[in-house]
Structures are given as structure tokens and as C-alpha cells.
Amino acid sequence: MTSRVLPTIIKILGSDTGAIMAVNTTDNEIKRLTPEETAELKKVLEQKRDALNESAREVLNSQIMEEIRAADEIDQASTEYEHSFEYRLRDREKFLLRKIEKALQRIKDGEYDLCESCGDPIGKKRLTARPETTYCIVCKEEQERQERMFQKKRQQQRSQMEF
């Protein structure tokens, strides 16, 4: 049996950009998740959350022990550098943790598998790959394209400002 391919769906994203995106979709990509699939992804999100929390606890405990052992100035400087690096990693993990908490709340609200931007189903494949996502692939690609354009403009402005 061959899978039936739905006609190409044309989405117009943002009237200010005038961008038109064409996406080929199949039946299973546009369906909402079943309660079983949602429960499975909820479990994955909870495991990720627990792992991040445990990692943060371990780092905090190890930093306390390192502070006790840092005897001379060189050791202290090295320890401070490592702590700074760890804090940057923790900031990234905090951001991910907030996204996970948001995804768990969206599950409770019944909006988990719907794109925040366009309201269409996100798709099981995308949610399986990145369970904390809030955008369908089309909207995420458009967001990334906008970000790249913004970065390019900033780089051009900076290069014009430098003498």
C-alpha cells in the first residue's frame, strides 16, 4: 500500500514579509497526537526535566567542595573560571528547563501539539525529535530566516560604524 499524499499546502507567513512557503505533507504529519502519544512525550519531557535538575544539584555540590579545597590564588582563579563556564552552561539549561515546563503546561492545557504561531498541528516527527518545541517546522524555519536577516543587518550596520 502506498501512503496517500495530500496536496501541497501553501502557507502565507506574515503579511510584512510576504513570504510564501510550500510544504508537502502526508496524512500522519498533520494529525494531532493521540492521548497515548502525548502521554509518551510527556514522560520524555519529565525525564529531561528531572535529568536537568539532577545535573544542577550535582554541579552545585561539586562547586561547594571545590571552594573548600581551593587553597592558593592560582587554584582560586582556575576555580572561578570553571564556575563562570558552568554558570553559562546552567543558563542554557535554565532556558531549556523553562521550555520543558512550558511544554508540560501546554500538555495540561491541551495545546501541546499545536503551533503557537499558526495554530496548525506540529507533527509527531517534530515533537519526537524536539518535544519542547512550540512551533511547526514551517513557522520555525520562517523564524530562523527572520533571525538570520536581522543578524545580517546588524553585521552590516556594525561594519559601517567601524572606521
What pLDDT, on a 0 to 100 scale, did the predictor assign at position 111? Answer: 95
CATH of 33-141, one of 1.20.58.1690, 1.20.120.910, 1.20.1540.10, 3.40.30.10: 1.20.120.910
Q: What is the average per-residue pLDDT within 113-135?
A: 95
Structure-model confidence comparison of residues 25 and 74, the more confident one? 74
Q: What is the pTM of this model?
A: 0.69
Structure-model confidence comparison of residues 48 and 70, the more confident one? 48
Mean pLDDT of the chain: 80
- The model's confidence at residue 148, banded by pLDDT at 50, 70 and 90, is very high
The pLDDT tens digits of the residues spanning 78-115 come to 878 887 888 888 899 999 999 999 999 999 999 999 99
Q: What is the average per-residue pLDDT within 106-126?
A: 95
Structural domain boundaries in the chain: 33-141
At residue 12, φ and ψ (nearest 5 deg) are: -100, 120
What pLDDT, on a 0 to 100 scale, did the predictor assign at position 135? Answer: 96
What pLDDT, on a 0 to 100 scale, did the predictor assign at position 19? Answer: 37
- Classified as helix, coil or strand, 61 is helix
13: DSSP letter: E
Query: How far is 88 from 66, CA to CA, in rounded Å?
Result: 18
